[in-house]
């Protein structure tokens, strides 16, 4: 260390860093979160250096022992983090040197903080993706089981938030599940690109030491070393890709949240959420507020902001590493935490949803939700579709005037619009008949919902851990 500064790079400088600049440029307050991955990478690096003869076995063992002890200090909350040492890497290296002497200074041979931090972030992201995947799997499992149980529960389907056609609650839940299945695929695909090792790229051009990057990659569980040293230390597209996944996932969870909020309202009264997922009002004692879905809906904008932050961070950077990249960690860390917490909340909450079947059924009876079934009935009887559309429109107008649903009209009332209508029309005008008639793959018929739930289970089983 230079007498002018205690920084790791102080030899070239003639005066200490300004105190404000020291605080402004330091990252240890947030990147200490990478300590476990930093130690993991350093142990692998030291092991590799010993294999190629850069370190002796005794030096390797001293480094690994020291790093393991430091890991314990950090886990117990006994480690003294220093802002003047800038970041997690130098704090750990300084403590290692303090513990084992000059051998600790040899650990950094053949690497730079540039490839070191890039490796730490990828190790961190890989670990967090696996945790997030587990929560996503749990949510999908709970959603599939609830859909299977509610395969026959009739509710109104909507377009433009207006009653359109009857569907089943199970069918609706499986629509959510399909969104999550695609999110799951995106997450696993992202993990493949995260799982590439930058270590060995050094500052930007590689190193003159006889390192073996394949050994280090194997020790750390990476699929392969990064091909290009410039790219390895400078790009953060994997972080952008993760926040893109997170943004799409939260968009889906937000859409689900919006429906849950609507469905718990007195105006819909479709479902009940257990009290443990809701809060009350400080002034209105009757209130039961769906805070969990509301918060998930609100946190979506936060994730979108992190995606824009990382895209903007990278958009003008020349090769190779720039200090700008220190700003990647806080949005990435928060995106990881937010996604994990939102998924946990949903995975706990969704299986506990209690549908109010009578309310759903009554809502499906309103709004002439079987009008399309009547049109299809007429077409099957030989009426041109456009004519059938006109006939049904007249029938609906009559129903609005008389306050009768189509299924509540008599045969004589219906025949005034078309002589083609016969007694068998009531088989398609019932809600049960309407949903049962859509008996094809992707349809809302109860048998199809159960079959789709089983396919979803099978698909989920084949996906779990596929990215690892």
Q: Which tokens is 146 given?
A: 């609830």
Per the domain annotation, does 1 fall within a domain? no
Residues written for the chain: 468
Distance separating alpha carbons of residues 400 and 395, to the nearest angstrom = 9
Pair (152, 249) in one structural domain:
yes
Distance separating alpha carbons of residues 433 and 97, to the nearest angstrom = 77
Sequence-separated (6 or more) residues with CB below 8 Å from residue 145: 351, 453
Domain total of the chain: 3
Taking each helix axis from N to C end, the angle separating 371-380 and 385-402, rounded to the nearest 10 degrees, works out to: 140
Return the H-helix or E-strand segment holding 261: helix 237-264
Per the domain annotation, does 4 fall within a domain? no
Pair (336, 419) in one structural domain:
no
Domain with residue 430: its CATH number is: 1.10.40.30
Pair (16, 77) in one structural domain:
yes
Pair (244, 327) in one structural domain:
yes
Given 160, 282, 440, 462, which residue is catalytic?
A: 160
Pair (196, 66) in one structural domain:
no
Q: What is the pTM of this model?
A: 0.91
Number of neighbouring beta carbons within 10 Å of residue 340: 17
Is 8 tagged catalytic? no
| Last-in-domain residue among 362, 386, 420 | 362
Are the CB atoms for 174 and 456 separated by under 8 Å? yes
Domain with residue 84: its CATH number is: 1.10.275.10
> Which residues is 155 bridged to in the sheet?
167
Pair (294, 340) in one structural domain:
yes
Pair (16, 161) in one structural domain:
no
Local structure of residue 279 (DSSP, 8 states): B
Largest Cα span, the chain: 102
Given 172, 214, 257, 281, which residue is catalytic?
A: 281
Is 247 tagged catalytic? no
Provide φ and ψ at 167, rounded to 5°: -135, -175
Q: What is the pLDDT along the chain (468 residues), one digit of tens a residue?
A: 333 445 565 666 666 777 888 888 889 999 999 999 999 999 999 999 999 999 999 999 999 999 999 999 999 999 999 999 999 999 999 999 999 999 999 999 999 999 999 999 999 999 999 999 999 999 999 999 999 999 999 999 999 999 999 999 999 999 999 999 999 999 999 999 999 999 999 999 999 999 999 999 999 999 999 999 999 999 999 999 999 999 999 999 999 999 999 999 999 999 999 989 887 766 675 768 999 999 999 999 999 999 999 999 999 999 999 999 999 999 999 999 999 999 999 999 999 999 999 999 999 988 888 999 999 999 999 999 999 999 999 999 999 999 998 989 999 999 999 999 999 999 888 899 999 999 999 999 999 999 999 999 999 999 986 666
Express the helix, strand and coil content of the chain in percent, nearest 5 each: 70, 5, 30
Pair (104, 120) in one structural domain:
no
Pair (267, 133) in one structural domain:
yes
């Amino acid at each position: 260390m230079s007498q002018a500064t205690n920084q790791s790079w102080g030899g070239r400088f003639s005066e200490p860093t300004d105190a404000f600049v020291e605080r402004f440029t330091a990252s240890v307050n947030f990147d200490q979160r990478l300590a476990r991955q930093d130690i993991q990478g350093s142990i692998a690096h030291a092991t590799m250096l010993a294999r190629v003869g850069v370190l002796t076995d005794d030096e390797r063992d001293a480094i690994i022992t020291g790093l393991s002890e430091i890991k314990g200090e950090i886990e117990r909350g006994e480690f003294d983090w220093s802002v003047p040492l800038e970041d997690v890497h130098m704090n750990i290296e300084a403590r290692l040197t303090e513990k084992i002497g000059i051998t600790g200074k040899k650990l950094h041979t053949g690497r730079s903080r540039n490839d070191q931090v890039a490796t730490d972030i990828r190790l961190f992201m890989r670990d967090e993706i696996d945790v997030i995947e587990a929560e996503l799997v749990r949510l999908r499992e709970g959603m599939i089981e609830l859909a299977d149980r509610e395969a026959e529960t009739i509710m109104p389907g909507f377009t433009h938030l207006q009653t359109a056609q009857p569907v089943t609650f199970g069918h609706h839940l499986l629509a959510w599940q399909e969104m999550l299945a695609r999110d799951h695929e995106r997450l696993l695909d992202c993990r493949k690109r995260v799982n590439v090792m930058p270590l060995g790229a050094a500052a930007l051009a590689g190193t003159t030491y006889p390192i073996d990057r394949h050994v280090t990659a194997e020790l750390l569980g990476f699929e392969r070393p990064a091909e290009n040293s410039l790219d390895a230390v400078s790009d953060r597209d994997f972080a952008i890709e993760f926040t893109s996944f997170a943004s799409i996932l939260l968009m889906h969870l937000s859409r689900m949240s919006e429906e849950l909020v609507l469905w718990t309202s007195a105006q819909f009264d479709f479902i009940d959420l257990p009290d443990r997922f809701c809060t009350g009002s400080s002034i209105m004692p009757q209130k039961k507020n769906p805070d969990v879905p509301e918060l998930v809906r609100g946190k979506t904008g936060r994730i979108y902001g992190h995606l824009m932050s990382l895209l903007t961070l990278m958009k003008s950077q020349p090769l190779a590493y720039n200090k700008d990249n220190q700003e990647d960690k806080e949005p990435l860390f928060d995106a990881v935490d937010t996604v994990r917490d939102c998924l946990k909340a949903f995975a706990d909450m969704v299986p506990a949803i209690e549908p109010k079947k009578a309310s759903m059924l009554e809502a499906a009876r309103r709004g002439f939700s079987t009008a399309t079934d009547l049109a299809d009935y007429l077409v099957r009887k030989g009426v041109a579709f456009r004519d059938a559309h006109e006939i049904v429109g007249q029938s609906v107008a009559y129903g609005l005037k008389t306050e009768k649903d189509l299924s509540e009209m008599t045969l004589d009332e219906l025949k005034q619009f078309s002589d083609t209508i016969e007694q068998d029309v009531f088989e398609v005008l019932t809600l049960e008949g309407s949903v049962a008639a859509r008996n094809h793959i992707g349809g809302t018929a109860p048998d199809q919902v159960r079959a789709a739930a089983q396919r979803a289970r099978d698909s989920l089983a084949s996906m779990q851990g596929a990215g690892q």
